[in-house]
Structure 1
Amino acid sequence: MTMHSTLSAPLPFRRPEDVLGALEPAQAADVVALASDVAMVLDRHGIIRDISVGSTDLVGMGMAEWLGRSWVDTVTPESRHKAAEILRDVSGGVASRWRELNHPSESGDNLPIRYFAVDTGDDGRVIVIGRDLQSSAALQQRLLQVQQAVERDYLKLRQAEARYRLLFQSASEAVLILDAGTRKVREANPAAMRLTGLAEASIHGQGFQALLEPNSIEAALEFLNTTPAAVSAATVPVRLVSGVDCALSASMFRQDKASCLLVRLTPTTTVAPASDLAALLNRIPDAFVVTNGEMNMLAVNPAFLDLTHLSSRDEALSGSLENYLGRPQIDLKIMVSQLREHGSLRNFSTIIRGVYGESEEVEVSAVIVPDGDQTRFGFSIRGVARRFATPLPSMSSGPGPEPRSVEQLTQLIGRVPMKDIVRESTDLIERLCIEAALTLTSDNRASAADVLGLSRQSLYSKLRRYGLGNLEDAED
């Protein structure tokens, strides 16, 4: 058995003079032309004296016009030093090697050609043989584009995986990924570990049935055996080993050529159906209203209809809350401003107006709830008229009970003109001063008049006005 060296030398013709010596010049030219895409004969100065082009595409790129030009001048500036090196090596007797040169073209793209030079020995002439590399360059370009596309797809997959991991880890719902065949846990998010009470190390690789109480295993496994390969609303009740009752739902998917189950566990104690919430709001005694950002009512409960004497929900939902709540152009604007600034409002005193013009004292608590790109307001309205032990003071100027505190006076703001409130405040101050003077002088009216800087007649007049003391024995 003959062993070949891994570094074998080139194998030339043994007797070229016997094989090729009888070739005519035309035959030799045909051999050279057929063995190359372009062949040129250069003189000792590197001028192209003859050229053969075997491709119509190359002829169309203007190679026929190279005749009589310096070969170095036909290449791009960055390839000129390589062309000069090829000619220098051949003239110096150094064996030539394939070199890739680029030629400019009218299309603006470079024309790549791989060249090899042979010294003919006659007057320093050199035969340059070239092979068109356009197809190879196109393949390289396509390979580069495919590689870049693969890298972009890989980056997208990495980003998608990062988003999936973030969603999986931050989800408040307990989610597990099971192997469909073995029912073993492949992944579990933190919510699932909190719900089951198991640590990450103990839950991974564990059989799903180990997370359930014995009474729930059979129903859960039967449910998983019939899980469709799509998202389904079907659930089955189960109890975990932690004692939490849950609704089990699942869907099947494929990953890494294997079937997996996406299992969700929702504690039934935290699930509040929308119908139950609506029934609760319908039964609470306080009025409840939901509006949009323009104060148009979106939902109301029966207590609100009772306060406003509206006949139906449809009648309420066709109008604005501004038509019923607060003093016109005052209170509701203040409430909305507070809600937008602080997010909530508590025990705001105002009035609610009915459809027939009657009004009632109420307290309002409210909250603002962003809903996507929209805003929702929720108002809880409670009637407070029954809280007052005595009726609000009137503004009559005749004898009778007058306001006893500043708080009572401030309640009149928005209901009566400011000049009447000022007059009422002045009367209140007068009465308080007279009472203090009488107390200071032990009910001596003459001394009290001196303390107040009034005449006794003026003091008696004010005492009658405010109904203070027994004036039957008063002097005229």
Structure 2
Amino acid sequence: MPTPPEPDLSALASLAHELAITMARVVGDMALVVDGHGVIAEVAEGALGPIAGCDQWVGRRWIDTVSPGSQVKVLSLLQEVTLCGATTLGRELMHPVPGQADLPLAWSAIRLGSHGPVLAVGRDLRAVAALQQRFVEVQQEMERHYWRYRLVQSRSQRLYQVAHDAVLVLDAGSLVVLQANAASAELLGRRLEDLLHQPLTDSLPVSLLGSVLELLVATRSSGRAVNRRGCGTGPSGRLDMAAAPLTVDGRRQLMLRLRKELGGAPGDGGVDEVLALSRMAEVVETTADALVITDADGGVLMANPAFLRLTGVADESLLRRRLLPELMVDTQGAWAAMVDEVRRVGMVTGVVLEVGTPDGPPRRVRVAAALLAEGEPACIGFAGGVEPLPDP
């Protein structure tokens, strides 16, 4: 079946101005009349209202009213109208507005006769763009929460495996031992296999039972971590105890930590801090990827040996408070931009950046970063692995 010929709209050419006003009011938010040279002859505004500077579009080429990235789209649209008489697909063009963000408009066009002007109708896309941006932000927030969840899981497992303290994870309702480390079996004088999957109360000596139960009940009912110093007496003497609530896959659990009573006055956290720092150092030292923690401005607070090798600095103390973009020889501003992006959206993953060197070729690093907002002031954690440069 032959394609019907395009209708001849030459008779409407003299009504281009009136058609532009009507189309702007009924179909779109703005309409243009463009002559055969691509110059705007008429501008009609609809429900969108006045756009700053659009009253000066008359007499200018349409291509000069859009941002540089949209100019090729204008040429494509005009070429399609010349060949086909109308556009089959709309074009999204960005129009600079003085003092504001660029205005996105979706344009369709039709030629009024083979030698007549082009009538272009534009629709405001700001609401759509805002929804798209919100969708991206929500998606990033979901990824950020998932990343944190996985990080908490990893920390829990690492604590459970490497802590010098006795650490047990219990079901909050039955107090059945779900996980336990070797130190807990040693401290309680039991075999590890006898502890697991049994109520903790079956494994506690009578001298310790009351204190541990009181601690666990207080933690379960309050929903907060609870500490007790020098409470109860185990096989190895008096103990310091702490318990904290957990929720894993929707199940309420309790993490119990037991240790031999520490020296020092109650509330003296000096020994605790030393132990915590030593365990943090162990985690950092054994991480294969380059790891660095900075303040909110990108100043280095802590780095692991892999990061030192990446930057070519032998002593971590020489990095303290130096800005990450400076250490990365960030001549293009990509690292500085990443710091700003993490501060804005909370998390960035899978970004490939270059690490410059004073006397050699750059190296590529795939980086993930997240805002560590749990503490004050907020910090940023960066983790990355070196990738080979592509062949020239």
**What is the TM-score with the length of structure 2 in the denominator?**
0.50
Relative distance call for 1:53 and 1:223 in structure 2 (3 A) is same
For 1:180, the equivalent position in structure 2 comes to 172
Q: Shift of residue 126 of structure 1?
A: 1.9
SS in 2 for 1:80: helix
Q: Shift of residue 70 of structure 1?
A: 2.0
Is residue 2:79 matched to residue 1:84?
Answer: no
Q: Shift of residue 156 of structure 1?
A: 5.5
Relative distance call for 1:252 and 1:220 in structure 2 (3 A) is same
SS in 1 for 2:25: helix
Q: Shift of residue 102 of structure 1?
A: 1.6
For 2:349, the equivalent position in structure 1 comes to none
- Counterpart of 1:112 (choices 104, 111, 118) is 104
For 2:256, the equivalent position in structure 1 comes to 263
Q: Which segment drifts farther, 114-123 or 152-161? A: 152-161
1:305-362 C-alpha deviation (Å, 9 max, x unpaired): xxxxxxxxxxxxxxxxxxxxxxxxxxxxxxxxxxxxxxxxxxxxxxxxxxxxxxxxxx
- Structure 2 spans left out of the alignment, 5+ residues: 1-14, 266-392
For 1:16, the equivalent position in structure 2 comes to none
User: Percent identity, aligned pairs only?
Assistant: 32
The answer to whether the 8 Å contact 2:160/2:168 transfers is no
The answer to whether the 8 Å contact 2:65/2:95 transfers is yes
- Counterpart of 1:43 (choices 24, 35, 48) is 35
Q: Shift of residue 96 of structure 1?
A: 1.9
Is residue 2:66 matched to residue 1:75?
Answer: yes
Q: Shift of residue 100 of structure 1?
A: 0.8
| Superposition pairs of residues 166-245 of structure 1, within 5 angstroms | 166-196=158-188, 203-212=195-204, 219=210, 223=214, 226-228=217-219, 229=222, 230-233=225-228, 237=232
Q: Shift of residue 159 of structure 1?
A: 5.1
Q: Shift of residue 74 of structure 1?
A: 1.9
For 1:102, the equivalent position in structure 2 comes to 94
Q: Shift of residue 238 of structure 1?
A: 6.4
Relative distance call for 1:195 and 1:40 in structure 2 (3 A) is same
Q: Shift of residue 187 of structure 1?
A: 2.6
Q: Which amino acid aligns with 1:264?
A: R
**What is the TM-score with the length of structure 1 in the denominator?**
0.43
Q: Shift of residue 130 of structure 1?
A: 0.6
Tell me how far apart the structure 2 counterparts of residues 26 and 166 of structure 1 sit (CA, whole Å): 73
Tell me how far apart the structure 1 counterparts of residues 231 and 213 of structure 2 sit (CA, whole Å): 10
Q: Which segment drifts farther, 85-94 or 161-170? A: 161-170
1:98-134 C-alpha deviation (Å, 9 max, x unpaired): 1111222323743221111123226332211111222
Tell me how far apart the structure 2 counterparts of residues 115 and 201 of structure 1 sit (CA, whole Å): 71
Aligned residues: 245
Q: Shift of residue 62 of structure 1?
A: 0.9
Tell me how far apart the structure 2 counterparts of residues 201 and 272 of structure 1 sit (CA, whole Å): 28
Name the one with the larger strand percent.
2
For 2:131, the equivalent position in structure 1 comes to 139
Structure with the greater alpha carbon radius of gyration: 1
Q: Which amino acid aligns with 2:52?
A: M
| Superposition pairs of residues 422-441 of structure 1, within 5 angstroms | none
Q: Shift of residue 36 of structure 1?
A: 0.6
SS in 1 for 2:92: strand
Q: In angstroms, what is the RMSD of aligned CA positions?
A: 4.0
Q: Which amino acid aligns with 2:60?
A: R
Tell me how far apart the structure 2 counterparts of residues 261 and 126 of structure 1 sit (CA, whole Å): 72
For 1:383, the equivalent position in structure 2 comes to none
- Structure 1 spans left out of the alignment, 5+ residues: 1-22, 276-476
Q: Shift of residue 37 of structure 1?
A: 1.0
SS in 2 for 1:41: strand
The answer to whether the 8 Å contact 1:248/1:265 transfers is yes
The answer to whether the 8 Å contact 1:39/1:52 transfers is yes
The answer to whether the 8 Å contact 1:178/1:186 transfers is yes
The answer to whether the 8 Å contact 1:38/1:52 transfers is yes
1:404-461 C-alpha deviation (Å, 9 max, x unpaired): xxxxxxxxxxxxxxxxxxxxxxxxxxxxxxxxxxxxxxxxxxxxxxxxxxxxxxxxxx
Q: Which amino acid aligns with 2:245?
A: F
Q: Shift of residue 38 of structure 1?
A: 0.9
Tell me how far apart the structure 2 counterparts of residues 127 and 119 of structure 1 sit (CA, whole Å): 6
Tell me how far apart the structure 1 counterparts of residues 39 and 191 of structure 2 sit (CA, whole Å): 83
Tell me how far apart the structure 2 counterparts of residues 138 and 272 of structure 1 sit (CA, whole Å): 56
Tell me how far apart the structure 2 counterparts of residues 199 and 140 of structure 1 sit (CA, whole Å): 57
The answer to whether the 8 Å contact 1:177/1:263 transfers is yes
